[in-house]
Amino acid sequence: MLRGVSDLPADLLAILVCPQCRGPLVTEPAALRCDACRLRYRVEDGIPVMLIDEATPVPAEG
């Protein structure tokens, strides 16, 4: 069964920061998003993939 952000422990979410800028992360159903860097880090099988090279850009709102 695939697990997403909702399965992550609250204490883990409280300490996770963006690996690029150390800014706060916003939770999405299957990812963690940094609004400062505009990068999205996927959560795969309940494990946050916090690698800058694996992050995907967040499209600009417009």
Q: What's the pLDDT score for residue 3?
A: 72
Name the CATH topology of 5-57: N-terminal domain of TfIIb (2.20.25)
Q: Is the pLDDT of residue 49 over 50?
A: yes
**And the tokens for 2?**
């695939």
What is the pTM (predicted TM-score) of this model?
A: 0.88
Q: What is the CA radius of gyration of the chain?
A: 11
Q: What is the mean pLDDT of residues 4-9?
A: 85
Q: What's the pLDDT score for residue 1?
A: 47
**Nearest by Cα to 18 from 44, 45, 40, 3:** 40
State how far the Cα of 16 lies from the Cα of 47, in Å rounded to an integer.
12
Q: What's the pLDDT score for residue 60?
A: 83
pLDDT tens-digit profile of 10-38?
Answer: 999 999 999 999 999 999 999 999 999 99
